Amino acid sequence: MIPKVFKEVIDLGDGREISIETGKLAKQAHGSVVVQSGKCMLLCTVVSNYKQADVDFLPLTVDYREKFAAAGRYPGGFFKREARPSDGEVLTMRLVDRVLRPLFPKDYHSETQVMIQLMSHDPEVMPDAMAGLAASAAIQLSDFPFECAISEARVGRVNGEFIINPTRAQLEESDIDMMIGASADSVMMVEGEMDEISEEEMTEAIKFAHEAIKVQCAAQVKLAEAFGKKETREYEPEREDADLAKKIHDMAYDKVYAVAKAASSKHERGAAFGEIKEEIKASFSEEEQEDFGGLISKYYSKAEKAAVRDLTLNEGLRLDGRKTDEIRPIWCEVDYLPSTHGSSIFTRGETQALATVTLGTSREANQIDMPSYEGEERFYLHYNFPPFSTGEARPIRGTSRREVGHGNLAQRALKGMVPDDCPYTVRVVSEILESNGSSSMATVCAGTMAMMDAGVQLKKPVSGIAMGLISDADSGKYAVLSDILGDEDHLGDMDFKVTGTADGITACQMDIKVKGLSYEILVNALKQARDGRLHILGKITETIETPNADVKDHAPTMVSRRIPNEFIGALIGPGGKVIQEMQKETETTIVINEDPVTEEGIVEILGVGSKGIDAVMAKIDALLFKPEVGSVYEVKVIKMLDFGAVVEYTEAPGNEVLLHVSELAWERTENVTDVVNMGDVFDVKYFGIDKRTRKEKVSRKAILPKPEGYVERPPRDDKRSGGRDNNRGRDNRGRDNRRDDRKPRNDKKED
């Protein structure tokens, strides 16, 4: 039976469309859609168990995978099968998760899985921009308790014009690359990178994307209605007790308020809050504690959150005693690690990052191999968040999604300031040694200083700051918090991270938890962030004002050289013998790439100190050496022969030519050793290619004065007897003058 298909089409306004289709694929999932733009097709399925899990959070898994078959390619590796997700896939999962998660009820604890798969790839369409749309559309077709439709859109700007979901080619020319997630009413998530834009320009980009998202949300609602909107499933809600909530609030509020106002450290404050909580628990009998279960802890957390928020809104004070726009004390240091190519420490309050820089050749570039994109990164940043940074002991299970996300944000913040002509592959690693608020922004600051310390000629230094927002819709009060603490991260209505230079924003990440946040508040928050960012930038430049002029003595120097395509093979040698021996002798690393446009060879030479690099450059100069006809060159005898001497040009070692015995001197030379010997150095004149021998000709005698009375030998007469054309004195019969009456031997045989 042919399935009934339901479809909605979204017009992007420039001739492109996005279609949402359901009813054909994956019908046993609780909701499934195929989202298509051009030849790009995403299949999204959603499933949620009907039984609540025994946890106090939403066990939501968002999985995004790109199938290599979608692009007509094979996966790399031995098994030729898709394996663990790439960093690019992980980043897309995070973008979708951050928008979906807040829209499920807080007491919904069923295991829920959202799976998005790239089934067909179009080089002109970036699939991650449609992943949020696909996820929300599938949920709208399910019976999940979900607040409202959402979508995500990428916005770029080319020549001053905003573009929704630009192609990768357009993105190369764009000065903005932002992903916005929103419902029809509220912006919920922003993440992206920019080319030093202003706060107002960033806000305009968000507004532009939100208008497009409204259309996408309406299309999802229309599709769900046509398909047949399902009744929202019933689930067992969490137990509530209003009287208990009020009782605990009254017991805890004033005590928490007092501790919050005391401006204590993280651990002191945590211990004080813990004592209040234990005191409240102790006021209940064992039977009551068993009966109420986790309600006591739940209501205490609500009371604590309310008290801390009120302290900020009412008195403009924060947990550590700072004012809302005050930055924690900062100290910095560079060149801390003696053996790295560059290093720095950035400490802000109770957050500390140690950054290192390693310089390498193009061989060390980070290779990206995804079905939707193949390329390499010559600058990349890795972020590590060990458990001791928060005073915890837990096992390390590989790189977490959070580490991938935070590292990517810091990388996007810095990469625009690495000059295009930087000869190195640059790897920055940030080790978080302490964490109490915004270690990703500490990574940006530490990374800036470490690269400047390493001698990477950054265009401008970059700093970053994490901001928070606390608002009260009833009173209209709000407070923007600069440089938030870890505790302030979860109790606020918005947390956002902004990085930039003194001239504009380079990257941002926002999670907005309150509905209907006005753009006026958003602009004010961004401007306050700018003030904080500039303050931090001042601390950075006090420590290291400009990049070091040179790399460190123990760090490698990089020299690049272009050579004609025809010389690449000679430099590499048979089986790589020449280049391998050269690297071993000079203690350098040599990488040869081919320019895809000019087809020239690009030779990268990496070495510590100039001796080895100079030796490689000399070898290349020798390889490229072309003597000019009529010029005189100094040569050295490197081999003796009966009929001459092999000499090499002293300015191009390894470049050899035969000096024939007849060109040694004007006088007749019986033995080569009568004139020159091994190791002799003298001048010769270059005559180019000899027409008779078709080999290069050089002469020593040509630059010597002729002896007195010297008589030139007469030129050879080719017609004389014995000439080459007369078969050396034989009769004039050549092979073509054989007697015509000569019969083949087999003619003598009888038939």
Contact 567, 622 (CB under 8 A): no
Distance in angstroms (rounded) separating the CA atoms of residues 606 and 315: 59
Residue 87 marked as a ligand binder:
no
Cα–chain center distance at 358: 15
Whether residue 6 contacts residue 115, with contact meaning beta carbons closer than 8 Å, is answered with no
Count of CB atoms situated within 10 Å of the CB of 406: 24
Would you say 105 and 112 are in contact if contact means Cβ atoms under 8 Å apart? Answer: no
Distances from the Cα of 496 to the Cα of 177, 321, 409, 465, angstroms: 17, 21, 12, 8
Distances (CA, A) of 130 to 36, 40, 103, 152: 9, 10, 19, 7
Dist CA 416 CA 447 (whole Å)? 13
Tell me which residue has tokens 């234990």.
278
SS3 state at 284: coil
- Residues 698/690, Cβ–Cβ less than 8 Å: no
Residue 489 labeled ligand binder? yes
- Residue 502: phi and psi, rounded to 5, are -65, -15
| C-alpha 636, offset from chain centre | 51
Instruction: Report d(CA 512, CA 510) in Å as an integer.
Output: 6
3 state DSSP class of 483: coil
539 HSE (CA, 13 A, CB side): 22
Give the three-class secondary structure for 248.
helix
- Give me the long-range contacts of 649-658 (CB less than 8 A, separation at least 24): 649/622, 649/625, 650/681, 651/621, 651/625, 652/621, 652/622, 652/625, 653/618, 653/619, 653/622, 654/619, 654/622, 654/623, 655/622, 655/623, 655/625, 657/696, 657/698, 658/695, 658/696, 658/698
What is the amino acid identity at position 633?
Y
Residues 6+ apart with CB under 8 A from 370: 66, 86, 88, 89
Q: How far apart are CA 375 and CA 168, in angstroms?
A: 12
> Does an H or E element contain 505, and which?
strand 504-512
The torsion region of residue 213 among left (phi > 0), alpha (psi -120 to 50) and beta comes to alpha
The encoded tokens of residue 632 equal 């005189």
Q: Binding site residues, as ranges?
A: 489, 495
Q: Binding site residues for Mg(2+), as ranges?
A: 489, 495
